[in-house]
Amino acid sequence: MSWDWYQLLPTRADEFKWIYGRTPLSNMWVLYGSWLLYFGGVIYVRWIMAERRRIDRGHPFIVIYNGSMLLTHFCVWTTGAWTMYHHLDISFFDYHCHPYQLRGRFFYGIFACYLLRYCTFLDTLVLVLRKKPIQFLHWYQHMFAPLILWSWLDDQSIFGGAAIIIMSLVLVARYAYYFCLSLSCGPHVQTTLKVLVIMTESVQTAAGLFLTAYQRVHCPQSSSVLLSACINITIASIAITYDQKPTAPVTRLRRKSMAQLD
């Protein structure tokens, strides 16, 4: 394994360049191995917790985890937003399919978010430690999110940079809500943050459809856009159809979002 570990350093973000097999965690076997560890680890911890009491949401581990994820995703969001603003003056959308001029910090933001998606596997561990039910959509999203980000990096998708800003903002709102719950914030603050999460997720869905359609028109040969479209459509389908009651799709999506946050 000949990974260039220096690419992990934020101080060298301007020199970052995704190279399969050289960039840390860029090999496909890393994705496959992470899925095995993910499922195996959750099953093992569930077995361990079978005869033990669940931990409280105010447990120090949960507080520290939610706080650290909030901080790191906020850093990714600010970095991505600054980079996107910097590139707006050079006709960002004119790069279309193969933005070889856009390297360094622009793609380092996607890479940082890609690494964090492996850390978010611990979301499932928190649910297991609290003995909460794990919905299929939770498994699906956490399993395929790293694959989507990997495809953006490998395909040098410029739209991945815009998607990262939106995705990071959603995760900032989500972990702010979790952090608030772990600190037992007031009900008004909790309700406000929950509404904020649902609103940002709605924006993420709409923006994802727009960016996917735009890239599909300009880059029909792109493999990442097809993969993203398939996974996102599947996620939306699962979210809409999970509740078999005769309610409107928007209501089902809202219920699904709120159920995941509780």
Examine the pLDDT at 247 and tell me if it is beyond 50. no
Kindly state the percentage of the chain with pLDDT values over 90: 28
The per-residue pLDDT of the chain, averaged, comes to: 80
Classify residue 242: in a domain, yes or no.
Answer: yes
The pLDDT-based confidence of 26 (bands split at 50, 70, 90) is very high
Kindly state the percentage of the chain with pLDDT values over 70: 80
Examine the pLDDT at 249 and tell me if it is beyond 50. no
What's the pLDDT tens digit per position in 90-109?
445 555 555 555 567 778 88
d(CA 63, CA 259) in angstroms, rounded, equals: 20
Classify residue 17: in a domain, yes or no.
Answer: no
Output the pLDDT for position 246: 43
Classify residue 227: in a domain, yes or no.
Answer: yes
Question: Which residues lie closer than 8 Å to 184 by C-beta, 6 or more apart?
Answer: 58
Between 255 and 3, residue with greater pLDDT: 3
Examine the pLDDT at 67 and tell me if it is beyond 80. yes
- Go through 182-207 and write b for each residue having 16 or more CB atoms within 10 A of its CB, e for each that does not: beeeeeeeeeebbebbbebbeebbeb
Examine the pLDDT at 62 and tell me if it is beyond 90. yes
Output the pLDDT for position 103: 63
Helices (H), the chain: 28-49, 60-87, 105-119, 122-129, 136-154, 158-182, 187-218, 223-241, 249-261
What's the pLDDT tens digit per position in 183-232?
988 888 888 888 888 888 888 777 777 777 777 676 665 666 677 777 77
Domain count, the chain: 1
Classify residue 173: in a domain, yes or no.
Answer: yes
Output the pLDDT for position 57: 87
Output the pLDDT for position 42: 92
Cα dihedral 192, 194, 196, 202 sign: negative
Between 81 and 224, residue with greater pLDDT: 81
- Go through 240-261 and write b for each residue having 16 or more CB atoms within 10 A of its CB, e for each that does not: eeeeeeeeeeeebbbebbeebb
Classify residue 148: in a domain, yes or no.
Answer: yes
What's the pLDDT tens digit per position in 103-141?
677 788 889 899 999 999 999 999 999 998 888 888 888
- Domain interval for residue 197: 57-261
